[in-house]
Structure 1
Amino acid sequence: MAELNGKPVGVEALQSLALTNYGHFTSMRVEDGRVRGLSLHMERLQRDCETLFGAELDPERVRDLARRAVPSNGAAVVRVTVFDPDLDLGHPGSADAPRVLVTSRPAAGLPLPPIRVRSRTYTRDLPGVKSVGLFSSLHHRRTAQLDGFDDALFVDGRGAISEGGTWNIGFFDGDQVIWPESDCLPGVTMRLLQHSHAHVTRPVNLADLPRMRAAFATNAAVGVRAVSGIDTIVLPETHPVIDALRKEYLKVPGELL
């Protein structure tokens, strides 16, 4: 399913998005018509639309459009992408009339299996914006997979950990849950967990990993997923803290889309 402003999307509009690669999005896991953190997803879309296009986005209109992609029952991942099909590559300053592309796909069953990740030195452009510019993230993911890992974990030039390509990461040091203090996208799932589970936010470096007892990845599509290894560091595939975070996340009431 793919609709642009509530109508079947044409090739020209998709071609514009593919060739200019300028826009932003959010992905929501919809279960029986409800979304955990729906208001946070709408806040993100409004904030990023102002940043990239200097335009206001009506969240009620977005919800109306997104509802068209939701199955009558079961779970799906609905992606809302905001871009301007008329953007001129030579004059992006004129792009101020963004439209809403809604797509959907089946949601995977939870929980997903653990992942092993490889650290890569990289900081996204405008890390606070969930942009459609995924080239570097996917390149690092591909490189990690070719080296036998599942995904890439981003660090800065000093080894400070920030985020994965499409997910946040958290740690447990035996006493408390730790979210890295860094330039990264504040994910909706991460924010929901921060409201439901005691934690601290502080810098986490690669050198700190031998002292960690568990690590986990979070985003709206996967919920809470164990990270079983980072580079040569082996971490447990299961841990009571990860189980507790999953249960707390699933208890978060969904908002009606």
Structure 2
Amino acid sequence: MTNPSHAHIEIDGRPATGLDPAVIPVLQGAYGHFTAMQVRDGRARGLALHLERLDHGTRELFGTDLDGYRVRSLVRHALDGSGRSEAGVRVYVYGAAAGGGAPTVVVTVREPRTMPGAPRSMMPVPFLRPVPHVKHAGGVGQPYYGRAAALAGFDDALLTGPGGEIAEGHITNVAFWDGTSLVWPDAPALRGVTMALLERLVPSVRREVRLADLGGYRAAVLMNSQGLAPVHRIGTTEFAVDGELMRRLYEAYGTVPWDEI
């Protein structure tokens, strides 16, 4: 069994302890992308969306496709190697090692995580992710501003543009409730898997949302692969926690099937 405080890591199906020296420069370059999922009993929500994300990212960054069957096989192998059927799993894709061939796939398996249900606070920061539609690896901006938010007493950072337009959380998507629909900020951002699933299940619209507009919304919510939680404060703007809205969202999300990996 993997030590709960450590990750089990496999590179192209091989434990990282026996790392091929040719792979090391590829991993050190940090030019790659990834997806993160929660696994329960060997299953994950929105698996097809995760595989689609990995394939699209691989095509854009490396000019080749990534076979979903290969990804599923590598994830199953890593889960078996870790001794876990419930876990937080990340699949990273990097370029081919020296000599060419298929992209390098790294699977990490850690203890499972669930989004804390307590209301969250977000600190607006002046940063937008480059190439935001790709869940890319590397980069200092997100961890830098996430740490800055934590040091300032907030739970998360909220990424914003030069005109105060809201894009996303530093590791989450965020949406606002106008009393009728979830409003997803129409700004350059990653379309998260949980976001994509909820968009199918609850009334949703996309439009520009600016920091100056926040007072016009009744509630806010953030989400990522770990789940969702209400937002009670963004900067100095307070939001009431809408219990009925959260009930609807939790119930809708609860209907999403867990797909066998």
- TM (norm. structure 2) is 0.88
- Return the match for 1:60 from 69, 77, 82: 69
Shift of 1:240: 1.4
CA contact (8 A) 2:177 2:183 kept: yes
Residue 152 of structure 1 contacts residue 165 of structure 1 at CA under 8 Å; is this kept in 2? yes
Check the 8 A contact 1:31/1:73 in 2, yes or no. Answer: no
Q: Distance in 2 between matches of 1:129 and 1:137?
A: 14
Q: How far apart in 1 are the matches of 2:132 and 2:224?
A: 15
Distance in 2, matches of 1:230 and 1:170, equals 12
Closer, same or farther: CA 215–99 of 1 in aligned 2, 3 Å: same
Structure 1 residues 149-174: Cα deviation after superposition (integer angstroms, max 9, x where no partner): 12210111111100011110011122
- What percent identity do the matched residue pairs reach? 38
Alignment-derived partner of residue 45 in structure 2: 36
Greater mean alpha carbon deviation, residues 106-115 or residues 54-63: 106-115
Residue type of the partner of 1:47? H
Q: Deviations over 1:48-99 (max 9, x none)?
A: 0011111111110100110123367763111000013647xxxxxx987421
- Note if contact 1:49-1:82 (Cα within 8 Å) is conserved in structure 2: yes
Q: CA deviation at 1:201?
A: 1.0
Q: What does residue 173 of structure 2 align with?
A: 168
Quote the residue 1:142 is aligned against. Answer: 147
Question: Displacement of 1:175 after TM fit?
Answer: 2.6
In 2, Cα distance between equivalents of 1:175 and 1:198: 7
Q: How many residues align?
A: 250
SS in 2 for 1:56: coil
Deviation digits for residues 172-193 of structure 1 (CA, Å, limit 9, x no counterpart): 1223211111110011100000
Matched, 1:76 2:87: yes
Unpaired segments of 5 or more residues in structure 1?
88-93
TM-score relative to the length of structure 1: 0.90
In the alignment, structure 1 residue 107 sits paired with structure 2 residue 112:
yes
Query: What corresponds to 1:7 in structure 2?
Result: 14
Structure 2: runs of 5+ lacking an equivalent: 1-7
Alpha-carbon contact 1:189-1:220 (below 8 Å) kept: yes
* SS of alignment partner, residue 117 of structure 1: strand
Superposition pairs of residues 108-123 of structure 1, within 5 angstroms: 108-109=113-114, 111-123=116-128
Q: Distance in 2 between matches of 1:205 and 1:74?
A: 42
Quickly say closer, same or farther: Cα 1:117–1:2, change in 2 above 3 A: same
Q: 1:163 is aligned with what amino acid?
A: E
Matched, 1:193 2:193: no
Q: Secondary structure at the match of 1:69?
A: helix
Root mean square deviation of aligned Cα: 2.2
